[in-house]
Structure 1
């Protein structure tokens, strides 16, 4: 029995006990992220976050987009100057438009018309030669989520009958729009519930996952608008894609208890925010590093390697061979460059000595 076949559908329940500490930690991190975000270039950060969300939301569904094309469209919309521009097709423009609508127009009600518009942007008429899906309409037939061989398919989920879709969507949209103003509804849990509920109705023939993640982004933006542009939840979900599909299937095959799904959802939100905080720490470290050390004392090859390390490469330190490969110099030159960097304090060497010596940034010396 699928969850939508349960007699109490859609009266979801969950155990707050394991969720309360997770929510507390996540809200603390949201506040920390907001406080730390002043060091970032807001327009560039928004571009990078939206780019990751668009690319990875499609990647979750097995579709690879052209990153340069998506980036060029975002740069145009956000007024960011990009050194390299790529041609942008109608579908890419639509993906960007829907992503921006979800996080910018948070006070606009979520309606069937808005969702159908997002879907038409996802499947524009120009794509008909390559994709038979007609955008901008709810499905008119049955839908299943399957995997495996054609002759031996594994059914992971089956959506409600198409005749029920309109009524199910009416109930979902009414809840979504009214729950935002419900003082008893936790806004982070609301985002998780909205995503799962929409996926369970599965109102479209295709594109439900991507539209569902737009709804998630909208709900998260309504929950906390200051930081939603800073973290890419779809990137985190993509990293944990197997868990994502497994916990959704488990929940859709279960009763009305959403505790496992909500637990996973909040943990992934926390991970996503922590990753952004890590990037901010990295940015601050890089800024302070170059304030402390004078680039003029280095040659271009040394600066290139140092910047790679400051950007997160070579977490365990860099050795002579790696320096040689990155800087594109001889082994003897690499040895000389590294010795100079250590002598001037730009790097510190471990105590191994010889060819096994690894060199780290001061303050980030590897164990």
Structure 2
């Protein structure tokens, strides 16, 4: 979905921000409260479980979660980031000592900087300067793709009203028209004041509203979705009362990307009652909390593996490949792939692999011939 300014008349009579009651959102408590109760219960259980697994494993969980969050939030907007660069940038900024870190591009560094500022410094107030700093970090070249944009300040309307548009040139479909540029300072002042001062609202409801409210104002030329999700994550960190992130809301939004855009569009064209948006948001938040058990299982298995082999000698190549196999290794492990990744001769790769087989770390898959490949033997784990 493309987001840019075009000179087109609105195809509907009223958007949410044009409602006379904007932004005094309403919702049906009887509908919402069961979802809120389930989310809060899952949050409490997850935080309690994480507190019991030790500092190093919590660090690993935070690294995995923030890496995924950064990647998926950008992917929602159609931007694919290099996972190794993201992981390296996150690890460095968290002060984690990890061997073989990749150098990250300016673009990756900017997204990571924004996300970590939003979640690690969740107690700090939201300000225009802070939000505009995030925007500048997202667009270090001052451009969105080929187009020069206003960076680090609210957008203007010199190219026409800001509209969310899809479809080929000449046959665009307008999904949303944002508030006019002259309204932005007042709109954002009101939003920021509410975000910083309304402490009586249930925190997870506030996260959902902040997401919808910010993206409806659409104060920037580009990057509004990513910043809206960062602000929502700030509020979720406040709800959890910790800067350690153990679940990724953006990963679930990406999984249901079409539904995300559909519910935003229908809500922004609907009444001031946002019950359906809240239901959708809490369903995704529930998914994010529940799927974290799988992430936790991977981390605990990794810890148990290295505990089992703490007295076993491995060379640097073997350690690198074992860690890759415990992560998001793609495809099957052949000796040729080992050689390519570790930059050694294939005979050296074979010796590395045979040594791990003898130590019980790897097993031959049994396929034989040119299809010979190897499987990492992981310990069993009961959560």
TM-score (norm 1): 0.77
1:86 corresponds to 2:99: no
* Offset at residue 178 of structure 1 (A): 0.9
Give the structure 1 partner of residue 360 of structure 2: none
1:18 corresponds to 2:31: yes
1:219 corresponds to 2:235: yes
Distance 1:248 1:65, change over 3 A: same
* Offset at residue 284 of structure 1 (A): 4.5
Picking from 3, 13, 22, the partner of 1:9 is: 22
Matches within 5 A, 1:1-367: 1-37=14-50, 38=53, 41-125=57-141, 130-141=146-157, 142-179=161-198, 181-182=199-200, 185-226=201-242, 229-284=245-300
Deviates more, 1:140-149 or 1:222-231: 222-231
The Cα offsets for residues 194-242 of structure 1, whole Å up to 9 and x where unpaired, read as: 0000000000011100111110111111111337511111111111111
Report 1 or 2 for greater relative contact order, CA contacts < 8 Å, sequence distance ≥ 6.
Answer: 2
Does the 8 Å contact 1:56/1:234 carry over to 2? yes
Does the 8 Å contact 2:142/2:148 carry over to 1? no
The SS at the match of 2:26 is coil
Measure the CA separation in 2 of the matches of 1:243 and 1:128: 25
* Offset at residue 77 of structure 1 (A): 1.1
Does the 8 Å contact 1:72/1:88 carry over to 2? yes
Distance 1:76 1:284, change over 3 A: closer
The Cα offsets for residues 317-359 of structure 1, whole Å up to 9 and x where unpaired, read as: xxxxx999999xxxxxxxxxxxxxxxxxxxxxxxxxxxxxxxx
The Cα offsets for residues 140-167 of structure 1, whole Å up to 9 and x where unpaired, read as: 1121000011111011111011111111
Does the 8 Å contact 1:44/1:80 carry over to 2? no
Distance 1:291 1:165, change over 3 A: closer
Unaligned stretches of 5+ in structure 2? 1-13, 313-321, 339-376
Deviates more, 1:282-291 or 1:164-173: 282-291
Does the 8 Å contact 2:88/2:101 carry over to 1? yes
TM-score (norm 2): 0.74
The Cα offsets for residues 282-319 of structure 1, whole Å up to 9 and x where unpaired, read as: 555676799899x99xxxxxxxxx99999899xxxxxx
* Offset at residue 129 of structure 1 (A): 8.6
Does the 8 Å contact 2:61/2:295 carry over to 1? no
Give the structure 2 partner of residue 333 of structure 1: none
- Across the aligned residues of Structure 1 and Structure 2, the Cα RMSD in angstroms comes to 4.0
Does the 8 Å contact 1:125/1:135 carry over to 2? no
Does the 8 Å contact 1:121/1:135 carry over to 2? no
Measure the CA separation in 2 of the matches of 1:198 and 1:84: 38
Give the structure 1 partner of residue 349 of structure 2: none
